[in-house]
Amino acid sequence: MSSEKTNQSWGGRFSEPVDAFVARFTASVDFDKRLYRHDILGSQAHARMLTQAGVLSEAERDAIVAGLEEIRGEIEAGTFEWRVDLEDVHMNIEARLTERLGVVGKKLHTGRSRNDQVATDIRLWLRDEIDAILVELNRLQAGLLQLAEAEADTIMPGFTHLQTAQPVTFGHHLLAWFEMLSRDHERLVDCRKRVNRMPLGSAALAGTTYPIQRQVTCELLGFEAIGGNSLDGVSDRDFAIEFCAAASLAMMHLSRCSEELVLWTSAQFQFIDLPDRFCTGSSIMPQKKNPDVPELVRGKTGRVFGALTGLLTLMKGQPLAYNKDNQEDKEPLFDAADTLRDSLRAFADMVPAIKPKREIMREAARRGFSTATDLADYLVRKGLPFRDCHEIVGHAVKYGVDSGKDLAEMSLDELRRFSDQIEQDVFAVLTLEGSVNARDHIGGTAPAQVRAAVQRGRALLAQR
């Protein structure tokens, strides 16, 4: 019988070493080593709890806590040797601790398993990631409010079906983005509550025979609640799936914003200009200025959608409790968090630097009969049924298409051909300013409402 082992944490039951390829294939240290800070934090809290439970002496606790702190220093200095044969971040750190402390280092794992250890580490890591993402999201929303306030009076065409529909203000359009992101903020904050539940103490799947005090570790690690079932504690990845769902929605919103930025910077629209630092050129066409940042964010959305689908697929067939499948949870989760945070950062840097081309926007709003609904509303106020008004204005628009005139460019006599209810006062509602100012209610596009919404938005950010 061979005494050779590839992993001292579990090799006693085996009669031959793991195949070298299998060792590489099953190892996760290449990607899960980014959990090192949270693994050390969880281990230090576990050691402190074991001391209060009478399992470790104070001297052993102090040696373990200090030893782990020194290991963190090695990792951050780049002198730590990561070993594939030790499989993961947890065993690499524990092996180094044992190397430094001997028998005392071996006592750290008392009353826990890698199953509840990794579940704890991922939750601690994701909690910090959500906090960092929320910082970038808040920064982006603050930039949107700043630009919306500056452009509260800037008129542009509003679209449905990408066809000119009604005039709106650019500030109003930007505030639509703000609302989308506000829902993303709510989802991430709500998701964080379920992330912040502690599985540590579940051990492998059934709990432990040691007199652990889970409330102590819970408080030390800043968790809001303790997982109520050990089987679920080690096998639950709902929190990761929920995060990827929230991240997917946020990326979908950023992708929609990106699509509009790409359209608006095109020669066909020319609504805005993006500073050169957010664009690139062409290797062959010297005139090109490509909006690469929004294009790339639009493309990266697929990565996050893929992470969500991947995690759902990963979990759908697993029986309780922990299975090796769950090693595959980290890379998609890591990538989703990185992608969302970086995309938000790029947008937060870029949005305040957007330069609207106000005259081009205004001229575009004048085309496409964008005040047709205003004319119909005008006739309704004269006492006509809306459906009749709709038909009357439809005839007027047809005349405008044939004659090449917008409604506001027609004479009173021309307009009265379609209804004798039209009077000189009609021109006040056919102007772009008249159209946007008339929508003066909460959620409307009137400049006064845009400025009021900006103030509400700032109050919302201040409360977070």
Active-site annotation, residues: 161, 282
Q: How many helices (H) and strands (E) does the chain have?
A: 20, 6
DSSP of 26-85, one letter per residue? H--HHHHGGGHHHHHHHHHHHHHHHHHTTSS-HHHHHHHHHHHHHHHHHHHHT-----GG
- DSSP-based three-state secondary structure for 462: helix
Cis peptide bond upstream of 321, omega within 30: yes
Tell me the β-bridge partners of 166: 158
What distance in Å separates the CA atoms of residue 383 and residue 374, rounded to the nearest whole number?
15
What distance in Å separates the CA atoms of residue 454 and residue 463, rounded to the nearest whole number?
14
Burial class, 97, CB count within 10 angstroms (exposed 0-12 / middle 13-18 / buried 19+)? buried
Structure tokens at 318: 């697993």
**Pair type for strands 163-169 and 197-198:** unpaired
Burial class, 460, CB count within 10 angstroms (exposed 0-12 / middle 13-18 / buried 19+)? middle
DSSP of 224-241, one letter per residue? SEE-S-HHHHHH--HHHH
CA-to-CA dists, residue 394 to 143, 185, 232, 365, 434, angstroms: 40, 43, 62, 18, 20
Specify the long-range contacts of residues 8-16, CB closer than 8 Å, at least 24 apart: 8/95, 9/91, 9/94, 9/109
Q: Which residues contact 452 (CB under 8 A, 6 or more apart)?
A: 442
What distance in Å separates the CA atoms of residue 353 and residue 275, rounded to the nearest whole number?
7
